[in-house]
Amino acid sequence: MAQWQEVQLLEKVYLEKVHELYSEDHLPMEVRQYLAPWLEDQNWSRAAEPHSAEAHMLFHTLLALLDDQYSRFGTRTEDFVLKHNLRKSKLNLQAKYQECPEQLANVIANLLREEKAILNRGLKAQQAAAQPTSSAPMETDRQQKIERRLAETRAAVQELDREVRHLEELQDTFDFRYKMHRMVANGAPASPELARQTEQLQAMLNNLDRSRKSLWQDVLARAQELLGRCETLRDFLLEELAEWKERQRRACLGAACDTSLSRLQTWFTAAAEVLFQLWRLLRALGDQHAKLTYLHDPLETQRPLLESRLQEHLSCLLRSAFVVEIQPIMPFPNQRPLVLKTGSKFSVRARLLVKLQDRSHRLEAKIILDQHPPDVKGFRKFNILTSTSKTLVQDDPQMEGLVCDFRHISLKDQRAGASGKGSKGASEGLPAVTEELHLITFTLDYKYQDLVLELQTSTLPVVIISSNNQFSSAWASVLWFNMLSPDPKNQLFFSAPPAASWAQLAEVLSWQFSVATKRGLDEDQLHMLAEKLFGLEATPASTLTWARFAKDNPPVFSFWTWLDGILSLIQEHLAQLWKDGHIMGFVSRKRERQLLKRKQMGTFLLRFSESSRDGGITCSWVEPGEKGQPKVRSVEPYTKMELKSLALPDIIHDYQLVAAENIPENPLKFLYPSTPRDEAFGKYYTERREVDLLEQKKYLNQRLIRVSSRQPNEPWLPEGMVEAPPAAEGPGPDQLEVLELGPDQLEVLELGPDQLELGANGLEALEQELDLMRFDSAGSNMLRGGDPYLPLPDDTPPLVLPGNTLFLGANDFPALQVDSKDFQ
């Protein structure tokens, strides 16, 4: 069904809105009626572009179709009026738009959009009437005051409108009778009838004068009172708008906030309608004053003051109503706005909350980057590569607002060959790239009923980068600025960034996890992070500086670098496990031991490594120790590199240790606090083919399973190995020590600082000793050679014996390097 046919089936209240839509002399309703299908099939928005050839073609086609429709009427009496109206409509359109058919295209495009919006509202109301009503959200006290004040001002301005119309009718009646009397009396002899009519006109004039004096004074006083109410209403609306902007700011950081503008748009439009109606009434009073005035007429002195005050109200309301609805954001990653990369596309949207538009005037917004850049050495400048202007349109039928949607915008650094590296700028005393803030500004020339204003609005500051490896640091800047800056336009914020309290930071950090992983941080996890930053004395009032939060100082990395690495690890490899609560995540080693030692043997938990820059996760479990005391053991953290090859649930499922009886056993039995392992992780296990299983077990043998319960400076012995007692006259403590091994276990060589002397067959014997270190893969998941907690990197060259001597010193064998930071 065509849109025009659907519109005619709406209820009366919506049909009235359609009649109001076509009440102005832009496009006669009879033209809409006769050419309905053709009008709806054309792309009027494209034709409305300046100097469009399509607009001329459509304009002449429209006139031709009207001629065709005119010729279809017959000679019946009832067709006479229809032919007259249609011919008049064609002549009016031709006279009005012959030189500027783009204006007609713009008018038709706007009419069709508004018509569609009325249709959608009507259909939605019909659907709502057929369904049970749902409970509306709770209104705040200020929102209730706004609704009441809007109702009061509407009623007041309508009452004023009736009184002004009454004065106009009295004036028009007098004017008509006076003109008729002049026509009759002109040249006619005096007569009693003429004298009686003159007396009636004089009485009418006296009555009109009394009415004007009393009513005009009353109308002006009530208009003054109405402006006072509108001022209070405007203040309420500005408070609501400020709260919406703060909610939008928090939503950019990840908070779950309502950023819908539908209610604000309804309020702003209603307030503007009241003010514009009062504007028209004051203009009507001015017309009355021009027709008839008298000494000390209050209109002469008070009306200009009222108009000036009213224009000030309108200007403030309209300038506030131009807002950034969607802050600048790149498509990927699409959950972190306000970070833009040169050469990459991004989008941003502005909205005018007052949906009042002069249909003959195109509302066009322009976009400017850094309209007033700060006077800072090295501050970068960028060119916008795409179009910098867009026409405001009503693209959302439910919102019905005027929006300006800039999409696929990209930026280019004006400096030739600019690298955009933050480190170079910092070394030269220039601001770091990720601490340089830029503003995007929208400008709009608004015109409605002789009121012309320039409107402006700006985005929140954006950080512009040139490389993806700057993205994390740039997002840290966005977090810090929007968390702490009271001025949303302060581009010099990072010249002296303030410290943040833990109460502020904890909330923002939890938002990062909620957005990226669908699960925020609980109190225990936040408490661990607070202790990591501030120690055991952490309180909500503890403060953290910007440098300590985000500034890397190699080899030490910042708190944010570590935390963002964990976020990335979760998103790429652990999303569902984290969301389902199977990863405890942030727990200190001390707290970990306290939790596990109270549980049954085989209980394990998953936590994030504190020493992995790019994110790592480790598994710790409790097992029997010496004299039956519980002992906590851990694996070296798994990073993205390992988890790319095998998912963490499969690692947990396949994990095995060789017990003293040489029987492989999985020590991970219960996920903390007491959930059986397969019950917790069964749904995540991967169905693997036998060949895949062999390959993954081979990978486990070589790379993944690295177990240690050692403390710093504690010697390490493999499972099932017992240190051999020293012989009476055997090697000393600093010499080669041989430990007894089971058939499938690993032998360890330890060399002290003294040299090792080899006999004639010494080299052969040493080679045999080295052969013992080769790993027999049958039935074991231990690492090949070396310390299983510290496997040799893949790029380490093999050990090479000197070929020109049979005497080897202790330095000829690399010492085993153990760093206490490697222990979990």
Mean pLDDT of successive 10-residue segments in the chain (824 residues)? 78 79 79 84 83 81 82 68 79 84 87 85 74 54 89 86 77 72 70 76 73 73 87 92 93 90 90 89 78 67 83 91 93 81 91 78 87 88 88 66 86 69 46 85 85 90 90 93 92 92 92 87 89 87 92 82 91 89 86 85 89 88 80 87 87 72 76 87 73 53 42 36 38 35 38 41 44 37 35 45 42 48 46
Torsion sign (Cα): 408, 413, 419, 421: negative
Sign of CA dihedral 406, 412, 414, 420: positive
Q: Given this model, what pLDDT does residue 251 score? A: 92
DSSP β-bridge partners for residue 393: 403
In angstroms, rounded to a whole number, what is the distance separating the alpha carbons of residues 570 and 549? 21
* Euclidean distance between CA atoms 253 and 479, whole angstroms: 6
Q: Going by C-beta distance under 8 Å and a sequence separation of 6 or more, which residues neighbour residue 181?
A: 197, 198, 201
In degrees to the nearest 10, what's the CA dihedral of 298, 301, 305, 308? 110
Residues in the chain: 824
Question: What's the CA gap between 253 and 338, in Å, rounded?
Answer: 10
Closest alpha carbon to 401 in 442, 352, 360: 352
Distance CA 66, CA 62 (A): 6
Residues whose CB is less than 8 angstroms from the CB of residue 719 and which lie 6 or more positions away in sequence, other chains included: 657, 658, 659, 660, 745
Report d(CA 309, CA 313) in Å as an integer.
Answer: 6
Helices (H), 669-722: 677-681, 690-699
Q: Coil, strand or helix: which one is 571?
A: helix
What pLDDT is recorded for position 81? 72
The CB-based long-range contact list for 53-58 (8 Å cut-off, 24+ gap) reads 54/105, 55/101, 55/102, 55/104, 55/105, 56/101, 58/101, 58/105
- Whose tokens are 């018509």? That residue is 115
Q: What is the pTM of this model?
A: 0.65
Residues 410, 330 contacting (CB under 8 angstroms): no
Residue 350's pLDDT is 92
* Structure confidence at residue 426 (pLDDT): 45
Beta-carbon contacts of residue 586 (< 8 Å; ≥ 6 apart): 521, 524, 525, 526, 528, 529, 607, 608
Closest CA to 210 of 292, 283, 282, 290: 292
Residues 476 and 560: beta-carbon distance below 8 Å: yes
Residue type for 191, please?
S
Taking a C-beta distance cutoff of 8 angstroms, is the pair 241, 323 a contact? yes
As beta bridge partners, residue 390 has 365
Check the CA dihedral 642-647-649-652 and report its sign: negative
Kindly give, in sequence order, each residue whose CB lies less than 8 Å from that of residue 526, ignoring residues fewer than 6 positions away. Answer: 506, 509, 510, 586
The full 3-state SS of 106-163, as one line of letters, equals HHHHHHHHHHHHHHHHHHHHHHHHHCCCCCCCCCCHHHHHHHHHHHHHHHHHHHHHHH
CA neighbours closer than 13 Å in the CB half-sphere of residue 528: 19
Which of 572, 564, 473 minimizes the C-alpha distance to 512? Answer: 564
Alpha-carbon distances, residue 573 vs 644, 677, 684, 730 (angstroms): 8, 19, 12, 52
163: Cβ contacts below 8 Å, ≥ 6 apart: 215, 218, 219
| DSSP per-residue letters across 597-660 | TTS-TTEEEEEE-SS-TT--EEEEEEEE-GGG-EEEEEEPPB-HHHHHHS-HHHHHHH--EE-T
Q: CA nearest 619: which of 598, 592, 644?
A: 592
Q: Which helix (H) or strand (E) holds 664?
A: strand 664-665
Sign of CA dihedral 384, 390, 396, 401: positive
Cβ atoms of 28 and 22 closer than 8 Å:
yes
Specify the long-range contacts of residues 695-702, CB closer than 8 Å, at least 24 apart.
Answer: 696/645, 696/646, 696/650, 696/654, 697/654, 697/781, 698/777, 699/645, 699/646, 700/646, 700/651, 700/654, 700/655, 700/781, 701/775, 701/777, 701/780, 701/781, 701/782, 701/783, 701/784, 702/783, 702/784
- Residues in CB range of 113: below 8 A, 6 or more apart: 393, 394, 397
Query: Which of 567, 702, 573, 565 is CA-nearest to residue 647?
Result: 573
Closest to 649 measured CA to CA, from 551, 726, 745, 575? 575
What angle is formed at CA 304 by the lines to CA 303 and CA 306, rounded to 5 degrees? 65
Cα of 243 vs its chain's centroid, Å: 16
CA dist 532 and 559 (Å) reads 9
Residue 16's closest CA among 122, 103, 151?
A: 122
Residues with Cβ within 8 Å of 710's Cβ and at least 6 positions away in sequence, in order, are 716, 789, 823
Q: C-alpha distances in angstroms, 109 versus 89, 403, 645? A: 18, 15, 56
Separation of alpha carbons 174 and 180, rounded Å? 10
